[in-house]
Amino acid sequence: MSTSSKSSFLENVNLSFDRAAEALDLADGLCQQIRTCNAICEVKFGVRLRGSYEVFTGWRATHSEHVLPVKGGIRYATFADQQEVEALAALMTYKCAIVNVPYGGSKGALKIDPRKYTEEELEHITRRFTQELDKRGFIGPGLNVPAPDMGTGQEMMSWIADEYQKLHPNDINARGCVTGKPVHFGGIQGRTEATGRGVQFGLQEFFRHPDDLREAGLEGSLEGKSVIMQGLGNVGYHAAKFLQEEDGARITAILERDGAIVNDNGLDVEAVSAHLSETGGVKDFPGAEYFEDGAALLEKECDILIPAAMEGVIHRDNANRIRTKVIAEAANGPVTFEADNLLRGQGVVILPDAYLNAGGVTVSYFEWLKNLSHVRFGRLDRRYEEAQGKAILDVLEEALGKPVSGPARDSLMEGPSELTLVRSGLDDTMREAYREIRELLLSNDKIKDLRTAAFGLAIQKIADIYQSMNL
Nearest of 449, 432, 360 to residue 208 by alpha carbon: 432
Residue 300 designated active-site:
no
CB within 8 A of 261, min separation 6: which ones? 253, 254, 267, 272, 282, 283, 285, 288, 289, 290, 291
Query: Which of these is catalytic: 107, 181, 225, 370?
Result: 107
Q: Which residues lie across from 115 on neighbouring strands?
A: none
CB 262 within 8 A of CB 291: yes
How far, in Å, CA of 414 to CA of 393, rounded?
A: 11
Nearest of 333, 353, 355, 360 to residue 430 by alpha carbon: 355
3-state per-residue secondary structure call for 303-358: EEEEECCCCCCECCCCHHHCCEEEEECCCCCCECHHHHHHHHHCCCEEECHHHHCC
Nearest of 230, 219, 158 to residue 191 by alpha carbon: 158
How far, in Å, CA of 141 to CA of 68, rounded?
A: 9
313-333 b/e with 16+ CB inside 10 Å = b? bbbbebbeebebbbbbbbbbb
Rg (CA), the chain: 23
Looking at the chain, the number of H-run helices and the number of E-run strands are: 16, 13
Q: Looking at the annotation, which residues are catalytic?
A: 107
